[in-house]
């Protein structure tokens, strides 16, 4: 099944079967469902990039490269392409919960680097787990922060020469956050597969709280009505993309963008969509 069809099905379940209530933090009503998940085979069904509305490609490409680099200041590479993390910087222009920094430095070990080392040495390992959530300070009514990780862990397995990726998310805004997260982490999957010399396999995405804000109800209904494209997108990476991402090579963003953009034929953008913080 294509990602567009999966997405339409998830939106329909949330709008028709989800629970509607006002969220205390935001003051907005949401339609929400608990425990949603999907899986898609990237090799068979294509790269999971939404075409039911236009998604800004350079945003998720640059963000994921910034993550791989382990940086936590947007001025280092990321701000050349997007200001998406600027709302979450402290006075020192540091994103304290920057995902890549958490993967590579925050816990006293390079989790992402160790993941690559482990699977290069033992592709059959089932211990390829990377954690973003810091139990010492995140959530549970603890330290007040402008942002805590939504995708909080991922697991990577290599089975029969294909790299599979499971992303676990505590909370997903299904209109703005979800399509962006899926494309970004699927790109990470493809980059890791190239680094390890295997093919990308199944991308799996599990959400605890999947929700649609009241201001996005009409957009969700519009995308459910739109016709799904049968065209599949295949991401062909430049050589040594992982290494180039680590070195914050700005040309890598342009090269990946050019490859995807040549294939991307989205429906028209839906105007007026705003992030609820």
Q: Which residues are catalytic?
A: 150
Burial readout 117-150 (b: 16 or more C-beta within 10 A, e: otherwise)? eebeeebeeeebebebbbeeebeeeeeeeeebbb
Beta-strand pair 199-213/162-173:
parallel
Q: Which of 155, 158, 156 is nearest to 122 (CA)?
A: 158
Distance CA 46, CA 259 (A): 14
Distance CA 71, CA 96 (A): 10
The answer to whether 130 and 154 have CB atoms below 8 angstroms apart is: yes
């Amino acid at each position: 099944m294509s990602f567009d069809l999966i997405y339409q099905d998830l939106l329909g379940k949330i709008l028709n079967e989800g629970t509607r209530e006002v969220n205390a933090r935001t003051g907005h009503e949401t339609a929400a469902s608990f425990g949603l998940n999907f899986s898609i085979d990237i090799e068979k069904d294509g790269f999971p990039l939404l075409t039911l509305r236009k998604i800004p490609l350079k945003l998720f490409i640059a963000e994921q490269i910034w993550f791989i680099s382990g940086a936590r200041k947007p001025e280092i590479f990321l701000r050349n392409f997007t200001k998406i993390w600027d709302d979450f910087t402290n006075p020192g222009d540091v994103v304290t919960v920057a995902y890549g920094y958490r993967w590579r430095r925050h816990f006293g070990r390079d989790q992402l680097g160790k993941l690559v080392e482990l699977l290069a040495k033992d592709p059959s390992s089932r211990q390829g787990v990377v954690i973003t959530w810091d139990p010492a300070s995140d959530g549970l009514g603890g330290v007040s922060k402008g942002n805590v990780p939504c995708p909080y862990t991922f697991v990577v397995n290599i089975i029969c020469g294909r790299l599979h990726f499971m992303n676990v998310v505590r909370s997903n805004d299904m209109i703005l956050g979800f399509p962006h997260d899926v494309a970004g982490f699927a790109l990470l999957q493809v980059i890791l597969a190239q680094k390890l010399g295997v093919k990308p396999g199944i991308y799996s995405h599990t959400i605890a709280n999947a929700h649609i804000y009241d201001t996005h109800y009409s957009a969700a209904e519009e995308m459910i009505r739109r016709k799904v494209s049968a065209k599949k997108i295949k991401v062909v990476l430049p050589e040594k993309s992982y290494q180039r991402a680590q070195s914050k090579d700005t040309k890598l963003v342009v090269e990946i963008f050019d490859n995807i953009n040549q294939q991307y034929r989205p429906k028209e953008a839906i105007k007026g969509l705003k992030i609820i913080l």
